[in-house]
Amino acid sequence: MATLPTLPVPDSDLLRLDHQVCFSLHAASRAFGSVYRDALKELGLTYPQYLVMLVLWEHGPEPVKSIGERLRLDSGTLSPLLKRLEAAGLVHRERSPEDERSVTIRLTEAGEALRERALPVPRRIMAATGLTVDELRTLRSLLGRVTGALDEA
Amino acid sequence: MATLPTLPVPDSDLLRLDHQVCFSLHAASRAFGSVYRDALKELGLTYPQYLVMLVLWEHGPEPVKSIGERLRLDSGTLSPLLKRLEAAGLVHRERSPEDERSVTIRLTEAGEALRERALPVPRRIMAATGLTVDELRTLRSLLGRVTGALDEA
DNA sequence: TGCAACTAAGTTGTGCGCAACTCAATCGCA
DNA sequence: TGCGATTGAGTTGCGCACAACTTAGTTGCA
């Protein structure tokens, strides 16, 4: 199955492969975004906002810092996004008493309630991918390794 | 190796898997973007601008329409991007004589010349991914299938 | 103890991605 | 042939991503 190390891949093929991988990634990410956009429209959430809500639904109140670490987003992205979630009445922010620099994000009742309506979303997306569970696992694993390696560099 | 169809995957696992795949994709796409940003900085290109240049380097003058089809981008994204490439002196736009609605994008000499300096970029990215050629092929193939399936829906 | 280094969140500015729209050119068909 | 529908490019507006910066609070150590 594996390419024999003694059969070198031509240089030009490598360049094409790189372009194709990067481009596929870009395209796939946007294709997912588009399907999620449709699925989340009735909830009034964008895809990144949904990711933040997932973190809060799963882990409970969290400081901005750790939401950012989980989602690989910095305050420049999260601050305005959280402001919009707050304006929508889904979360509410409070300065941490023990560290005044830190702001804890907490779900409101409306934010908790939205969880029910969000439950059917992932299944719809899964079905739309057309991949088997095993393939999705392979994909997740490859993507995880790529991201890890790229973050090193 | 494959999961037996007779061993159903619990529902909650499916939901987690979906989240993980979508999130990994999102994260990987941004990780690639970040590495490309560094590699392209000295060329004065962003990653999407680089993708447009790749199309022009490979296919020669192209109308905005077909650049958009190749890259899965609409005029709302391409028009300002091309305006910036034009301002940078890399491309130049001309109305098509046979269809006055269409605008053909053509590389300037500076745009052609940039190709040389861009050649070493993909190899650097490939190395940074830490994946084998086979794994990259698998990744490309899975991503292509996902995008195709999602675009159906 | 005091002050420099660090840290968390927020702000500003730029570019991408996309929906919704405008405008002009072209097409198609009654 | 004329006129409504379609098409290609561009514009507007909003949200995300990120670099670079500011501000306020905390930490550590000389």
pLDDT of residue A23: 85
Of residues A4, A52, A20, A12, the one with CA closest to residue B134: A4
Compute, in degrees rounded to 10, the torsion defined by CA atoms B122, B23, B9, B137: -10
Could you say which residues 80-109 of protein chain A have a Cβ atom less than 7 A away from any atom in strand D? 80-81, 84, 98-101
pLDDT of residue A132: 87
The listed CATH number (1.10.10.10, 2.30.110.10, 3.40.640.10, 3.30.2130.10) that belongs to domain B32-130: 1.10.10.10
Domain boundaries in chain B? Answer: 32-130
B118-150 pLDDT, tens digit each: 998 888 888 888 888 888 899 899 999 988 888
What is residue A16's predicted lDDT score, i.e. its pLDDT? 74
Closest alpha carbon to B57 in B122, B123, B112: B112
B71-CA/C23-C1' distance, Å: 25
B75 touches strand C (CB under 7 A): yes
- Distance separating alpha carbons of residues B119 and B61, to the nearest angstrom: 20
Which of B6, B9, B26, B135 is the mutation pick for testing A, counting most A CBs within 10 A? B26
For the CA of B86 and the C1' of C15, the distance in angstroms is 15
For chain B, give the secondary structure using H, E and C: CCCCCCCCCCHHHHHHHHHHHHHHHHHHHHHHHHHHHHHHHCCCCCHHHHHHHHHHHHHCCEEHHHHHHHHCCCHHHHHHHHHHHHHCCCEEEEECCCCCCCEEEEECHHHHHHHHHHCCHHHHHHHHHCCCHHHHHHHHHHHHHHHHHHHHC
Give residue A133's pLDDT: 86
What's the whole-number average pLDDT of chain A? 88
Quote the tokens at residue A142.
Answer: 């490859």
pLDDT tens-place string over residues A61-105 = 999 999 999 999 999 999 999 999 999 999 999 999 999 999 999
Of A25, A71, A140, the CB nearest to B20: A140
Q: Does residue A13 surpass a pLDDT of 90?
A: no
For position B128, what pLDDT does the model report?
87
Predicted pLDDT at B7: 53
Cβ contact A14–B123 (<8 Å): yes
Q: Is the CB of residue B26 inside 7 Å of nucleic acid strand D?
A: yes
**B36-93 tens-digit pLDDT:** 999 999 999 999 999 999 999 999 999 999 999 999 999 999 999 999 999 999 999 9
SS3 of residue A94 by DSSP: strand
Angle in degrees, 0-180, between the axes of helices B11-41 and B121-129, rounded to the nearest 10: 150
Closest residue (CA to C1') to nucleotide D24 in the complex: A101
Contact residues on chain A for B128, CB-CB shorter than 8 A: 149-150, 152-153
User: Are the C-beta atoms of B133 and A9 separated by less than 8 Å?
Assistant: yes
Architecture in CATH of A33-141 = Orthogonal Bundle (1.10)
Q: Residue A48: pLDDT above 90?
A: yes
How do residues A97-138 score in pLDDT, each as one tens digit? 999 999 999 999 999 999 999 988 888 888 888 888 888 889
Q: Higher model confidence: residue A127 or residue A1? A: A127
Q: Is the CB of B76 under 7 A from strand D?
A: yes
pLDDT digits (tens, 9 = 90+) for B26-49: 888 888 889 999 999 999 999 999
Question: DSSP E strands: which ranges in chain A?
Answer: 62-63, 91-95, 103-107
Is the distance from CB of B36 to CB of A22 less than 8 angstroms?
Answer: yes
